Structure 1
Amino acid sequence: MTASPWEGRGLGTRTVSWTERDAILYALAVGAPADRLDLVYEERLRVLPTFGLTLAQWAPDALGALGAFDTTTAVHGSQRLLVHRPLGPSGELDTTARVSAVRDKGAAAVFDVEVSCTHFTATWSIFAPGCGGFGGERGASAPRRPGRPAEHALTVATHARQAAFYRLLGDRHAMHIDPEAANAAGMDRPFLHGLCTLAASLLPLADALGAHPAELAELDARFAAPAFPGDRLGLTGWDDTPGHDSPGYDTPGGRAVRFEATAEDGRAVLTGGRARFRTTTPDRTETPDA
C-alpha cells in the first residue's frame, strides 16, 4: 500500500475563543427553543458540546487552502467527536490539527482531519473527488443499520432561516446562502450545513433518552445527502447501551443510541449515526462550572 503525501501532515495550532453570546447563538441556530433556558440564557447556560466543532472549523478549511483537494467539489463526508470535558460559557482553547489518515476510494480520496485540544477531539472526513488512485488503503465500509425495529421515531423540524443563522458561527461557505454557489455545487438551492443538521438531530435524541444534550460524550455520523432549510426530517433511533433491553438499564457510561435521519421525500440525510450521552438525569436549572 502507498500512503498519500498528505497523510500525517500537521496543520498547525490555533488559539480560538468564544463568549456566552456565541454559545447562545449556536444553540438557537441548531434549533434550541427559547424556553430552553439552560441552553439560551446566560444565567443557566450549559454549552452544547457540538459548539466546539465551530471553533475547530479552521482546520479542514486550512487543508483545502493548501491545495489537498478541490474545495468546490469536496464534501463533508462524516464527523466524529469525542468530548473530554465540558466547554464553559466563555473561554479560550489551543487547538492542534493534523491529517490523521487519507483513504483511497479509487476515483476519490477521504481526508481525515483531526483537531485535538483539552476539551475534545474532533475528526472531519472530507470526501474529495479526483484525489484517489494513489494505491492507499480503502478504509472501512459504512456501518449497517441495526437489524431490529427502532425504539425511537422522532422529528427534526428545520426552519427557512437556519442556514443563514448557522453560517454566522464560522462556516461561511457560499453554497449555504448563495443560489449561484449552490448550483455550482450541484444543488438547486442553498442547503443546510451538515453539522447544523447533525446538532439539530441530537436535541430530540437526548430528550428521547432522558439525557441532557450538553452531556454528549461521543458522536459519529455520516452525511448521506444535504437537508434544505425548512425540511422536516424523520429521525429513527435504536438504543445502543449495553443491557438496553433490561429494566433500569442506566449505566455509568450513560446512554447510547444509533440513528439516521431521512427527508420527507425519502432522501437519507444522516446515516450510520451513533451518539452517547453521559447522564440520564437532566437538570435544566443546573449552573455550569466556570
Structure 2
Amino acid sequence: MSEWKGRHLGTRTVSYDETRPILYALAVGAHATDLDLVFEERLRVLPTFALTLAQWAPDALGSAGAFDVRTAVHGTQRLRVLQPLPRAGEIAMSAQVSDVWDKGRAAVFDVTVTSEYFEATWSLFAPGRGGFGGERGPSARPRPSSVPDLTLPVQTGRDQAALYRLLGDRHHMHIDPAAAEAAGMPRPFMHGLCTLAAVTLPLAAAVGAHPADLRELEARFASPVFPGDKLAVEAWKSGDGTAFEASVDGTTVLSAAHAAFA
C-alpha cells in the first residue's frame, strides 16, 4: 500500500452562501428558535458543516481505485477547528492520504483535508485490502471506567437522512430501500456524520457550551443509526474536553468519541 500513503488527492475551492449552513443546522437537529444557527442576521456556522464541504476528498480516493467503494465504510472521523467558518464565502482545501494501516483482513485509509479553517481526517475501513505487512495503527480511545457524568437522549427525525443528503452526500443507501438492502441494511440509514453532528448539539448544551464553539471532535462509527432512532448518550467530563458514547437499544453506535469546546 506504499503507493497510496502520501498520495495527493487534489485541491478544491467550494463556495456557499448563508443558505447552506442554515440548511445544515436544520438537518442535524437545530430548531427554528436557535436563531444564531438558522437566522442569517445572527448566524454562527456549526464547525461540523466543514465536513460537508470536504466530502469530495474521501470520494476521490474511492474513485482512484484504492478500495471497493461498495464495501468500504466510514470508520472514524476527526475534526480540528482552526478558526470559525464564515457565514458565506469560499473555502480552499487540499487533501492527501495521510496514512494507510494494516488491520489484517482490511486496510484503513486516512484521508486528511486541510484548509485555513479546519483539518479533518476520514478513516475509511476497506475489507480485503489488508495483509500487506504494514503497521496496525493507533488504538481507539478506551471507554472511561467511571460512571458517566451525564446522560442525555437524542431523538433523530424520520426524514433526517433525506434532508442531510441535500448537503452533498447523496449515496443512495441513505434514501433508497433497494440500495440499502444491497448494502446489507434492512432500510435506509443515517449518514454517520449527521448522527455525530446531531449529538454535538445537545452535548454542547449539557456541558454549558455553544455548539459553534466546538474546537475538536472525534468518533468511531460502531453501528448504523436509522432515521427515527432514539440515541442514549453517556458523557464523561475531563480536563481536555468530554468523552462520550452513544447507543440505540443497548447497541453502541458511536464509540471512542471526544469533543472539546472553547
Q: Tell me by how many angstroms 1:18 deviates.
A: 1.3
Deviations along 1:192-250, one digit per CA (max 9) or x if unpaired, are 000000000000110011000000000111000110000000010000226xxxxxxxx
Deviations along 1:59-82, one digit per CA (max 9) or x if unpaired, are 000000001011110000000000
Structure 1 segments, 4+ long, off by >2 Å, are none
Match of 2:228 in 1: 230
Flag the structure with higher strand content. 2
Over aligned residue pairs, what C-alpha RMSD do you find?
0.8
Deviations along 1:123-161, one digit per CA (max 9) or x if unpaired, are 000000011111100012222111111111001100100
Indicate the SS of the match to 2:120. Answer: strand
Which of 245, 252, 260 does residue 268 from structure 1 map onto?
252
Q: Are positions 1:57 and 2:44 aligned together?
A: no
Alpha-carbon distance in 1 for matches of 2:31, 2:254 = 22
Q: Are positions 1:195 and 2:193 aligned together?
A: yes
Indicate the SS of the match to 1:230. Answer: coil
Which consecutive residues of structure 1, in runs of 5 or more, have no partner in the other structure?
243-255, 279-290
Q: 1:101-250, aligned counterparts within 5 Å?
A: 101-241=99-239
* Contact 1:4-1:134 at 8 Å conserved across structures: no
Deviations along 1:40-90, one digit per CA (max 9) or x if unpaired, are 111110000000000000000000000101111000000000000000110
* Contact 1:45-1:89 at 8 Å conserved across structures: yes
* Contact 1:104-1:137 at 8 Å conserved across structures: yes
Letter in 1 for 2:260: R
* Contact 1:4-1:136 at 8 Å conserved across structures: no
Match of 2:244 in 1: 259
Q: Tell me by how many angstroms 1:105 deviates.
A: 0.4
Alpha-carbon distance in 2 for matches of 1:19, 1:178 = 29
TM-score, length-normalised on structure 1? Answer: 0.89
Q: How many residue pairs align between the two structures? A: 262
Match of 2:36 in 1: 38
Alpha-carbon distance in 2 for matches of 1:151, 1:239 = 7
The share of aligned pairs that are identical, in percent, is: 64
Letter in 2 for 1:41: F
TM-score, length-normalised on structure 2? Answer: 0.99
Q: Tell me by how many angstroms 1:4 deviates.
A: 2.9
Alpha-carbon distance in 1 for matches of 2:3, 2:136 = 16
Alpha-carbon distance in 1 for matches of 2:89, 2:54 = 14
Letter in 2 for 1:268: T
Which consecutive residues of structure 2, in runs of 5 or more, have no partner in the other structure?
none
Alpha-carbon distance in 1 for matches of 2:149, 2:119 = 29
Indicate the SS of the match to 1:100. Answer: strand
Alpha-carbon distance in 1 for matches of 2:47, 2:58 = 19
Alpha-carbon distance in 2 for matches of 1:122, 1:210 = 25
